[in-house]
């Protein structure tokens, strides 16, 4: 069976690339629900509905473990999927998110003030604030929604994305660490590092592979079912004219096809 990675678009390919580089022996299935992009501007009900449809599809494609790389879907849908959907629909499947591993890394080295830049829906859920305060009730959290970034990235308009990053960075000058709370944002992490040179930038592509490796080592009942044939299959629910170009920047040898 396969390791599945789900995102609202192409941003999760950054996480997938990190997984493949760290754990190349396994089979991978990627699904980007680009027809409904961007999730961050949808209602919670819509996000849950899209996420459940994606889980059904990915399970039908042979995924044994699914990582919801989309922060918005994680913040809105993960708890329901883990507690209600999976136990009834596919109890032998595991579904994980990206928020808690990210929070753990962001608080290393005694950090006291954390910034979060994310989609509107993720910020509206306050999931990062809640998880940060569970670990450190005295933490100071600055949350900013950046709805323009995902469309700019998906449409390969990186110069425009940099202008937005420059503007948003002004709100994070006084934080110790900044969580890039969307899996599209690793594609522009160097812009944040450029405009926030004294801030520890927490980018999920740099931490999730190690977290997945640790999880598989601790759960042989999942790991033992995973195929080791080097299979890679990437699907999206719809194409725009820039989809393959953005993807090719990450994977030169793997085509993305329509689900």
Higher confidence at residue 24 or residue 240?
A: 24
Contact 72, 117 (CB under 8 A): no
Which pLDDT belongs to residue 163? 98
Q: Which helix (H) or strand (E) holds 115?
A: strand 113-118
Which pLDDT belongs to residue 244? 72
Interval 89-109: pLDDT, tens: 999 999 999 999 999 999 987
Residue percentage of the chain with pLDDT more than 90: 82
Residue 120 has pLDDT above 90, yes or no: yes
Interval 61-100: pLDDT, tens: 999 999 999 999 999 999 999 999 999 999 999 999 999 9
Which pLDDT belongs to residue 239? 80
Residue 249 has pLDDT above 90, yes or no: no
pTM: 0.91
Place of tokens 């449409």: 155
Q: In the sheet that 200-202 helps form, which strands lie side by side, from edge to edge?
A: 140-145, 113-118, 177-181, 200-202
Nearest alpha carbon to residue 173 among 111, 113, 106:
113
Residues with catalytic function: 70, 182
For residue 256, what pLDDT band results from cuts at 50, 70 and 90?
confident
Q: What is the mean pLDDT of residues 117-141?
A: 95
d(CA 164, CA 168): 6
The top-level CATH class assigned to 99-204 is alpha beta
Nearest alpha carbon to residue 5 among 97, 92, 93, 91:
97
Which pLDDT belongs to residue 257? 87
Which pLDDT belongs to residue 241? 66
d(CA 232, CA 183): 19
**Which tokens is 243 given?**
């989809």
Number of other residues whose CB lies within 10 A of the CB of residue 155: 16
Interval 185-242: pLDDT, tens: 999 999 999 999 999 999 999 999 999 999 999 999 999 999 999 999 999 999 876 6
Q: Domain map of the chain by residue range?
A: 2-97+207-258, 99-204
Helix, strand, coil proportions of the chain in percent (round to 5)? 50, 20, 30
CATH number given to 2-97+207-258:
3.40.50.1860
Which pLDDT belongs to residue 172? 97
Residue 153 has pLDDT above 70, yes or no: yes
How many Cα neighbours within 13 Å face the side chain of 226?
A: 24
Q: Fold identical between 2-97+207-258 and 99-204?
A: yes
Which pLDDT belongs to residue 26? 98
Residue 109 DSSP label: G
The pLDDT mean for the chain works out to 94
What lies within 8 Å, CB to CB, of 6 at 6+ separation is 12, 30, 31, 32, 33, 51, 54, 55, 58, 66, 67, 68, 69, 70, 73
């Amino acid at each position: 069976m396969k390791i599945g990675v789900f995102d609202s678009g192409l941003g999760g390919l950054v996480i997938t690339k990190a997984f493949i580089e760290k754990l190349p022996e396994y089979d991978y299935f990627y699904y980007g629900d680009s027809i409904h992009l961007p999730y961050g501007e949808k209602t919670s009900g819509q996000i849950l509905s899209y996420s459940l449809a994606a889980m059904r599809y990915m399970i039908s494609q042979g995924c044994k473990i699914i990582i919801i790389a989309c922060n918005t879907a994680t913040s809105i849908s993960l708890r329901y999927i883990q507690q209600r959907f999976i136990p009834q629909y596919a109890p032998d499947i595991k579904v994980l998110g990206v928020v808690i591993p990210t929070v753990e890394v962001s608080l290393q080295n005694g950090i006291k003030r954390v910034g979060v830049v994310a989609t509107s829906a993720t910020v509206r859920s306050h999931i990062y604030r809640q998880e940060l305060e569970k670990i450190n009730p005295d933490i100071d959290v600055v949350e900013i929604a950046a709805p323009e970034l995902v469309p700019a990235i998906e449409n390969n308009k990186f110069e425009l994305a940099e202008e937005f990053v420059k503007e948003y960075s002004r709100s994070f000058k006084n934080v110790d660490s900044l969580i890039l709370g969307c899996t599209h944002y690793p594609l522009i992490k160097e812009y944040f590092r450029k405009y926030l040179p004294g801030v520890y930038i927490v980018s999920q592509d740099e931490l999730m592979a190690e977290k997945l490796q640790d999880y598989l080592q601790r759960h042989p009942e999942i790991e033992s079912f995973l195929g080791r044939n080097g299979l890679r299959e990437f699907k999206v629910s719809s194409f725009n004219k820039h989809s393959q170009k953005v993807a090719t920047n990450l994977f030169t040898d793997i085509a993305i096809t329509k689900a």
